[in-house]
Amino acid sequence: KPASSLLLSRYASLEGNILNLSIHNSRVNVAVFDLKGKRIFQNAYSSSTSLDLSETVRARGTYILRVTSGNAVLLSGKFGIVR
């Protein structure tokens, strides 16, 4: 796991493989894509939660994470899974 911690917005942060969502009175969509653009995970959340992306993504590699609320992008970037 990477040792870095990234706070990309006040609503979402990525620490290693753990995505932390702080949700208040809204609905947040989380999507994970492989590097070819194929969506491999998508779910909506309406309350604060932590999501272990290494459990969501089965294979080792680099993926693209996108967290949105309505038309607003809260977090978007690459992350890696190492097994």
**Residue-wise pLDDT tens digits, 38-54:** 999 999 998 888 888 88
Higher confidence at residue 82 or residue 44? 44
Average pLDDT over residues 11-38: 84
* Higher local confidence (pLDDT), 40 or 4: 40
Beta-bridged to residue 19, according to DSSP, are 14, 51
pTM summary value: 0.78
Please list, in sequence order, all residues whose beta carbon lies within 8 angstroms of the beta carbon of residue 69, skipping any fewer than 6 positions away: 11, 26, 27, 28, 29
Q: Are 20 and 6 in contact (CB under 8 A)?
A: no
Higher-confidence position of 5 and 50 = 50
Residue 23 or 50, more confident: 50
Rounded CA-CA distance 38/44 in Å is: 18
